[in-house]
Amino acid sequence: MKGGRRVVLRACNLSGLDLSGYNFSDAELPACDFSEANLTSAKFVRANLFGAHFNGADLSNTSFERADLRGAKFDGAKLYYTHFKGADLRRGEVLGFLGPNGAGKSTTMKMVCGYLTPTSGTARVQGHDVVTEPMAVKAAIGYLPEGAPTYGDMRVSSFLRFIAQIRGFNGAEIGRRVDRVREMATLDEVFDRPVETLSKGFKRRVGLAQAILHDPEVLIMDEPTDGLDPNQKHQVRSLIKDMAHNKAIVISTHILEEVEAICTRAVVIAHGKLLADGTPEQLLCRDARHNAVVVKLAADQAADIVAGLAALDQVAGVDALGDPVNGTAAFRARPKA
């Protein structure tokens, strides 16, 4: 294996280089630019890659084991058989898994939770391999799946007691656990009703209650506020924030508002590929329209004013927003990064 010495390179330009097979164990590489580089079969073990750029790089069969990838960019990178192992999800962090429908969010969560077997690569939870130690993984995780399956003919109270028994609790501890999640998920008004009679929002909250009943250190939730009304969404988001102090939490969503409201970090995927990783603010800043200003002007005066705007040092460009209407023209002024 090439490499071997601990590499320390800060904000270094490594774009376009052939670094295939290189071993970057314990490397310090913050803000380094690997754009268009050949990194096939390279290893970034415990590497600090905060803010690094991998745009257009070939990362086929590359391993990011316990690497710090906060703020790293992967636009256009080739990610075939790329392994993101233990990619820096800490206790106290709420990670938003963002992407359009069909991006692979639910599939990834099912693999991490042990419900689907990965075709390649490795996933570990609390040090336990999801393939070889599935029971240990499931014991460490609280999981709210997309459909929140429950037994419709059971009352909410009976269902939660049943889950407590499955989790290994007995005696008075069952009642204590059930009462705790009953309050946390605000289930008092439906506690003695059959699950099948509940609204979609309450079924979702019952699913959340069963996921947190055993007070797991890792909580994985697939669209936790789906089907909730605005008040219920606020309650669930507040609950997630409160629990985040002593848990590692992952939520999937295709709603950017959800990520902004509760997440400390977000990753974006599409077609099973990682596109971005950073704080919600960092992801918003990547949009060319972020902090843009829309102005409406009299059409006969627009040319001079637009030219003046475009000449400002802080302005990256000015775009016309359609044709003038009733003598008024609209423009968007985009700020420089």
Q: Supply the pLDDT for residue 25.
A: 83
Q: Confirm whether 331 is domain-assigned.
A: yes
Judge whether residue 144 has pLDDT over 90. Answer: yes
Domain membership flag for residue 285: no
What is residue 196's predicted lDDT score, i.e. its pLDDT? 93
Number of domains in the chain: 3
**Residue carrying structure tokens 């071997």:** 4
User: In the predicted model, is pLDDT for residue 122 greater than 60?
Assistant: yes
Give the model's pLDDT for residue 92: 84
What is the structure's pLDDT at 322?
A: 83
User: Does residue 5 or residue 85 have the better pLDDT?
Assistant: 5
Output the furthest CA–CA distance in the chain (Å, rounded). Answer: 80
Q: Are 127 and 296 in contact (CB under 8 A)?
A: no
What number of other Cβ atoms are within 10 A of residue 308's Cβ? 11
For 268-282, how does the pLDDT look when each residue is reduced to its tens digit (9 = 90+)?
A: 888 777 778 888 877
Final residue of a domain: which of 59, 88, 117? Answer: 88
CA distances from 45 to 9, 77, 106, 278 (A): 15, 19, 27, 20
CATH of residue 67: 2.160.20.80
At residue 1, the pLDDT reads: 44
Assigned domain for 51 exists = yes
275 half-sphere exposure, CB direction, 13 A CA radius: 14
pLDDT, averaged across the chain: 86
**Contact predicate 195/151, CB 8 Å:** yes
Dihedral angle of Cα 111, 116, 118, 122, to the nearest 10 degrees: 40
Predicted confidence (pLDDT) per residue in 46-68, tens digit: 888 888 898 889 888 788 776 77
128 and 83 in a common domain: no
- Residue ending a domain, choose from 54, 88, 122: 88
Does residue 184 lie in a domain region?
Answer: yes
Q: How confident is the model at residue 37 (pLDDT cuts 50, 70, 90)?
A: very high
Residue of 69 and 113 predicted with greater confidence:
113
**84 and 102, same domain (yes or no):** no
Same domain, 153 and 122: yes
| Mean pLDDT, residues 278-299 taken together | 80
Q: Is the pLDDT of residue 86 over 50?
A: no
Strand partners, 319: 332
Give the H/E segment covering residue 251. strand 248-253
How many CA atoms does the CB half-sphere of 121 hold within 13 Å? 23
* Predicted pLDDT of residue 88: 56
Q: Give the percent of the chain with pLDDT over 70.
A: 91
- Work out the number of other CB atoms within 10 angstroms of the CB of residue 289: 11
Residue 284 lies in a domain: no
Are 49 and 110 contained in the same domain?
no
Question: Directed axis angle between helix 172-184 and helix 200-212, to 10°?
Answer: 130
Question: In this structure, are 263 and 297 located in the same domain?
Answer: no
Mean pLDDT of 88-103: 81
pTM: 0.65
Q: Based on the fold, state whether residues 16 and 124 are members of the same structural domain.
A: no
Query: How confident is the model over 186-191, as a mean pLDDT?
Result: 95
Q: 2: which strand partners?
A: 22
Higher pLDDT, 158 or 233: 158
Domain of 127 in residue numbering reads as 94-278
Residue 191 lies in a domain: yes
- Mark whether 309 and 184 lie in a shared domain: no
- Do 127 and 148 share a domain, yes or no? yes
pLDDT of residue 84: 54
Q: Which residue's entry shows tokens 């890792």?
A: 218
- Looking at the structure, tell me whether residues 176 and 257 fall in a common domain: yes
Same domain, 32 and 159: no
Q: Which residue among 88, 109, 133 closes a domain? A: 88
Q: How confident is the model at residue 85 (pLDDT cuts 50, 70, 90)?
A: very low
Mean pLDDT of 148-158: 87
Residue 152 lies in a domain: yes
pLDDT of 291 strictly over 80: no
Name the most confidently modeled range: 20-24, 162-166, 224-228: 162-166
| pLDDT exceeds cutoff 60 at 80 | no
Task: Provide the pLDDT for residue 120.
Answer: 64
Q: Does one domain contain both 122 and 10?
A: no
Q: Are residues 76 and 115 in the same domain?
A: no
Token duo for residue 85: 């192992």
Residue 71: how many other CB atoms lie within 10 Å: 19
Over residues 145-149, the mean pLDDT reads 76
Alpha helices in 54-115 (DSSP H): 105-112
The domain that contains 238 carries what CATH number?
A: 3.40.50.300
Which amino acid type is present at position 33?
Answer: D
| Nearest partner of 133 among 120, 142, 124, judged by Cα | 124
Any domain includes 286: no
pLDDT for res 170: 95
